[in-house]
């Protein structure tokens, strides 16, 4: 296959470098440099002129123009008889785009890098669904496969749900489900009444009737109430409560997470095995082992050793992996921690990843673990490291950095801030993040509140809000418009990164 890459003078060198390093079999490439500096400004006229001057496209199977191009090349395509499609927006993505030539048809409207990202993501999702469908589970909870070759499931805890209002429970349940939770865990506070337990479980079940629900308590009375209200799993059983509640779990075929009694590293593992044996003796058939993942600084290495030892001796019993124990008690961004712990859990063939989102710094952990669990399943199926899968957990860092543009100092002007300030005669804005109402599906948005009109413009992007401000003629001074653009961009970043935004304050 012969490909022509149409570019401009400034990007010609980068495009040629990208072709040299691509090394795609059975594909030959040529560079068509148009009489313009910026490739994004390509037009049918500039492209046709370059073709006529260089006379090198007649035998091409495909012409790729810059992914930044917005011109319509359909008429020229019909005239020359060669497909014209958008390539990637950046030269360093050319090699990857060329590798997909035989698998996909590029678009005349969508840049190749965006198209490929969407395609890889769709392929990854299709593969995940296929792997999960073929997996042979140890057992299921309300249709959700646990153990065997199935994906690690994410169990999200509603901490102290028995102290929440129904509205609070509903909002958190919606957040967890939209984040990808597979199981919802109802946390019970010490001293909770039977009515409080029943109300919390019923609220979760009524909002999410098709999602497995567990109850998080060691108290036999609380567990019994949870079972009476339809929970499918209990956290947790140990030596103290198995005699009181084991038969009830067995009668209702409820799954049980079994934990050790001792915190002594030497006795923990033996205690876990003894409690699992006791649970099975009580007639509980759906048992999940939890050696308990300790916090960093309090024996995480010992606990991982217990997980490893358990799995080496028992390749069948599902394993419970309490990731939240680590993320909640470490002042570090949760994304990398959750991804790494999910990778360790995958190697240990753990089956349930457990987390709350109790602290602000751990907000988003459910989604992070869901994506991580999918990454690990794809990597295991492919027999590779969890990279280049079509999905990722890259948030603030890039997979590949683009090149820097070199500038010359002959006409450089060093930027300086203007300390003067002038009130816009059209008024001023207060910018903040908000929720429109208290509904469970309410999303955070940016709000720009204008004075003196009282108008409140809401949206999720700086562009839409700024466009609306200009359309309504609510700002007139260029300095005010510049200021609003800066602040709205900061607010959008805060929204995307789930951070707090304060007008006129630094974001980081």
Both 331 and 439 in one domain: the answer is: no
Domain boundary among 365, 382, 399: 382
Q: Does one domain contain both 275 and 359?
A: yes
Say which CATH number the domain at 9 has: 3.40.50
CA distances from 163 to 187, 190, 415, 485 (A): 9, 10, 54, 42
Segments forming the whole domain that contains residue 8: 2-123
DSSP H or E run through 155:
strand 153-158
Which structure tokens are listed for 79? 């005239």
Structural domain contains residue 400: no
* Same domain, residue pair 436 and 347: no
Q: Are residues 171 and 93 in the same domain?
A: no
507 domain residue, yes or no: no
Do 101 and 149 have their domain in common? no
Predicted confidence pLDDT, tens digits, the chain (508 residues): 889 999 999 899 989 988 888 778 888 889 999 999 999 999 999 999 998 887 665 578 899 999 999 999 999 999 999 999 999 988 888 888 888 888 778 899 999 888 888 888 998 999 999 999 999 999 999 999 999 999 999 999 999 999 999 999 999 999 999 999 999 999 999 999 999 999 999 999 999 999 999 999 999 999 999 999 999 999 999 999 999 999 999 999 999 999 999 767 677 889 999 999 999 999 999 999 999 999 999 999 999 999 999 999 999 999 999 999 899 999 999 999 999 999 999 999 999 999 999 999 999 999 999 999 999 999 999 999 999 898 999 998 888 777 677 777 778 888 998 888 899 999 999 999 998 876 656 688 999 999 999 999 999 999 999 999 999 999 999 999 999 999 999 999 999 998 999 999 999 8
Give which of 353, 348, 384 is closest to 367, Cα–Cα: 353
* 131: in domain: no
Q: So what's the pLDDT on residue 293?
A: 95
Question: How many structural domains compose the chain?
Answer: 3
CATH number for the domain that contains residue 199: 3.20.20.20
pTM of the model: 0.85
Q: Assess contact for 251 and 228: CB atoms under 8 A.
A: no
Is residue 504 in a domain? no
Final residue in a domain of this structure, among 349, 382, 415: 382
Give yes or no: residues 310 and 185 share one domain: yes
Using DSSP, state whether 257 is helix, strand or coil. Answer: strand
322 and 450 together in one domain: no
- Whether 238 and 370 map to the same domain: the answer is yes
Burial 18-49 (b: 16+ CB within 10 A, else e): bbeeeebeebebbbbbbebeebbebbbebbbe
């Amino acid at each position: 296959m012969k490909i022509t890459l149409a570019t401009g003078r400034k990007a010609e060198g980068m495009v040629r470098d990208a072709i040299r390093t691509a090394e795609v079999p059975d594909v030959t490439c040529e560079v068509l440099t148009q009489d313009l500096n910026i490739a994004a400004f390509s037009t049918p006229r500039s492209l046709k002129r370059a073709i006529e001057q260089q006379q090198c496209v007649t035998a091409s199977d495909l012409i790729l123009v810059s992914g930044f191009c917005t011109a319509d090349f359909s008429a020229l395509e019909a005239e020359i008889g060669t497909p014209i499609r958008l390539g990637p927006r950046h030269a360093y993505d050319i090699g990857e785009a060329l590798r997909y030539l035989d698998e996909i048809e590029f678009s005349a409207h969508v840049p190749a890098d965006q198209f490929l990202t969407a395609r890889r993501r769709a392929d990854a999702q299709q593969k995940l669904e296929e792997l999960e469908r073929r997996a042979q589970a140890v057992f299921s909870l309300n249709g959700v496969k646990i153990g065997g070759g199935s994906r690690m499931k994410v169990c999200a805890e509603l901490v102290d749900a028995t102290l929440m209002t129904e509205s609070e429970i509903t909002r958190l349940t919606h957040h967890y489900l939209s984040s990808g939770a597979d199981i919802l865990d109802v946390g019970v506070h010490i001293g909770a009444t039977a009515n409080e337990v029943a109300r919390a479980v019923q609220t979760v079940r009524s909002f999410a009737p098709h999602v497995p629900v567990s109850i998080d308590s060691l108290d036999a009375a609380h567990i019994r109430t949870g079972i009476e209200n339809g929970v499918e799993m209990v956290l947790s059983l140990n030596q103290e409560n198995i005699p009181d509640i084991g038969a009830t779990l067995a009668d209702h075929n409820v799954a049980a997470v079994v934990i050790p009694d001792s915190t002594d590293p030497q006795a923990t593992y033996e205690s876990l095995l003894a409690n699992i044996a006791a649970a099975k003796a009580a007639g509980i058939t759906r048992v999940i082992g939890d050696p308990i993942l300790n916090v960093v600084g309090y024996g995480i290495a010992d606990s991982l050793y217990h997980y490893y030892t358990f799995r080496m001796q028992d390749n069948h019993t599902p394993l419970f992996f309490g990731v939240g124990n680590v993320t909640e008690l470490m002042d570090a961004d949760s994304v990398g921690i959750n991804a790494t712990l999910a990778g360790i859990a995958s190697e240990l063939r753990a089956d349930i990843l457990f987390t709350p989102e109790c602290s602000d710094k751990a907000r988003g952990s459910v989604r992070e673990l869901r994506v991580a669990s999918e990454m690990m399943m794809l990597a295991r199926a492919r027999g590779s490291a969890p990279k280049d899968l079509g999905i990722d957990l890259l948030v603030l860092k890039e997979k590949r950095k683009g090149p820097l543009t070199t500038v010359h100092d002959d006409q450089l002007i060093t930027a300086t801030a203007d300390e003067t300030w002038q009130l816009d005669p059209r008024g001023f804005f207060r910018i903040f993040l908000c929720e429109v109402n208290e509904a469970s599906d309410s999303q955070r948005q940016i709000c720009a509140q204008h004075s003196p009109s009282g108008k409140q413009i809401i949206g999720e992007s700086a562009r839409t809000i700024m466009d609306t401000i200009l359309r309504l003629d609510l700002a007139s001074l260029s300095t005010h418009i510049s200021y609003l653009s800066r602040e709205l961009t900061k607010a959008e970043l805060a929204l995307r990164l789930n951070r707090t935004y304060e007008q006129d304050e630094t974001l980081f």
